[in-house]
């Protein structure tokens, strides 16, 4: 079992460089299935979710090659429409392959996807959207059999702007005859990035980033070389780590879509200067409370930064209110923050955090990807030693987070525990 050991109290300062976003890379990797020509993605993060997605693509018959951070996928010889159960259950984003498989093969057999336990996250929006394209679904003993033999363009009205459902319909419609229109589409930057990638491969998609997206089906897509957008959530996490320690950070390759995150950190007293491809943060000695924060679909505050902001609020001067409007079970980190001395009161989807003068190190457990990042952030400012367990979840979305933080001066290391003996990596 690997853990992260953190000695708190060190002010972070320095420069960090962002790589491509997990939430952009995963659907783009899935979209590689739509074409039989090679696709090369640049600046791909070395994270567990990407490895699991590549494993699924190999099982489907794709060939994968790597050159540094460049990954080339060729789906010319894809020969499977059934996802491997053991990998799909590790990865929520395996559901992204439903649309591409239907586009390419007109059929798919999907296990119910896994991932972090942050809420029910039903896939009914995916199914309803694809049903509007003529897809027929059958549940068979824990699998979803998808029949797209009569697919055609259609009109979809989503009840909620689901990112995954929007992406699945975009990809399924790419090779579907006729025009498909998605109303109340998700507007996240990753949606826009998927459109750019698909169009680079010859698709005809327009409107991404707006409530209505239009896809005109084409006969085939071709290969491309593409660099996905930088990771705004990793960027926000690193900014939060610097802010938690009263430090400074020069964030390079910073995306221009972190407005909600930057605004909230400014509310907490951070000085932030934004330039093209660069965000520079200077934190005060003690942060101010942000009074109220509500997670919402883009361009609102991202749910994937809620836990990290709660960590900041634990030592901020004043009372902060967090309302989680996207997922019903995303306060798993609150109990562990309280074990570190935080003053947090929960009520349904609302958390009230009264800032305390200090946190103390203890052993905590990562309950999901972003919760784990929040506990690491808290440990950076806590007195004494913090041990974060179950860090495999953190590795799903952060490329050696301990190395990124150590480069900024953090006293953090990955420790291998075997039979009670610690072996230092």
Alpha helix (H) residue ranges in 270-400: 306-313, 332-339, 369-381, 392-395
Q: How many Å apart are CA 410 and CA 7, to the nearest integer?
A: 8
Residue 309 has a CB neighbour count (10 Å cut-off) of 26
Q: Per the residue annotation, which of 32, 62, 74, 116 is the catalytic one? A: 116
Name which of 337, 246, 233 is nearest 288 in CA terms: 246
- For residue 404, how many C-alpha atoms fall within 13 Å in the half-sphere facing its CB? 25
Let me know if 116 is a catalytic residue.
Answer: yes
Is omega for the bond preceding 299 within 30 degrees of 0, making it cis?
yes
Contact 181, 133 (CB under 8 A): no
- Separation CA 343–CA 345 (nearest Å): 7
CA-based torsion, 389, 12, 340, 336: positive or negative: negative
Comparing CA positions, the residue from 166, 107, 96 lying closest to residue 138 is 107
Residue 31's SS3 state is helix
Block residue for tokens 């933080």:
405
Q: Which residues carry out catalysis? A: 116
């Amino acid at each position: 079992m690997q853990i992260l050991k953190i000695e708190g109290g060190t002010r972070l300062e320095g420069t960090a460089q962002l790589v491509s976003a997990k939430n952009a890379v995963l659907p783009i990797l899935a979209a590689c299935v739509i074409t039989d020509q090679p696709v090369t993605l640049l600046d791909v993060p070395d994270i567990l979710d990407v490895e699991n997605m590549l494993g699924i693509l190999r099982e489907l018959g794709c060939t994968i090659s790597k050159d540094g951070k460049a990954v080339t996928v060729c789906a010319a010889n894809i020969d499977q429409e059934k996802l491997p159960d053991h990998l799909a259950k590790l990865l929520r984003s395996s559901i992204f392959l439903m649309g591409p498989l239907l586009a390419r093969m007109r059929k798919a057999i999907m296990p119910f996807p896994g991932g972090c336990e942050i809420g029910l996250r039903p896939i009914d929006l995916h199914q309803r959207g694809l049903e509007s394209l003529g897809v027929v679904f059958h549940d068979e003993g824990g699998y979803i059999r998808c029949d797209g033999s009569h697919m055609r363009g259609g009109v979809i009205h989503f009840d909620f702007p689901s990112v995954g459902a929007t992406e699945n319909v975009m990809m399924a419609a790419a090779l579907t005859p006729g025009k498909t229109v998605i109303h109340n589409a998700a507007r996240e930057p990753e949606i826009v990035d998927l459109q750019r990638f698909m169009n680079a491969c010859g698709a005809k998609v327009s409107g991404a980033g707006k409530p209505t997206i239009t896809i005109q089906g084409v006969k085939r897509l071709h290969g491309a070389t593409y660099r996905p957008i930088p990771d705004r959530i990793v960027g926000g996490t690193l900014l939060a780590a610097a802010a938690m320690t009263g430090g400074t950070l020069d964030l390079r390759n910073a995306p221009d879509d972190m407005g909600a995150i930057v605004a909230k950190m400014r509310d907490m007293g951070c000085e932030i200067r934004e330039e093209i491809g660069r965000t520079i943060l200077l934190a005060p000695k003690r942060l101010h409370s942000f009074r109220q924060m509500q997670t919402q679909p883009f361009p609102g505050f991202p749910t994937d930064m809620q836990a990290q902001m709660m960590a900041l609020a634990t030592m901020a001067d004043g009372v902060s209110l967090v309302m989680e409007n996207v997922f019903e079970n995303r306060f798993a980190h609150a109990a562990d923050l309280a074990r570190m001395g935080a003053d947090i009161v929960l009520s349904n989807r609302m958390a009230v955090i009264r800032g305390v003068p200090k946190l103390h190190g203890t052993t905590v457990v990562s309950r999901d990807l972003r919760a784990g990042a929040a506990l690491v952030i808290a440990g950076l400012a806590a007195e004494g030693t913090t041990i974060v367990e179950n860090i495999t979840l953190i590795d799903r979305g952060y490329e050696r987070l301990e190395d990124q933080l150590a480069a900024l001066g953090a006293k953090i290391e990955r420790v291998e525990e075997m039979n009670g003996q610690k072996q230092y990596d």
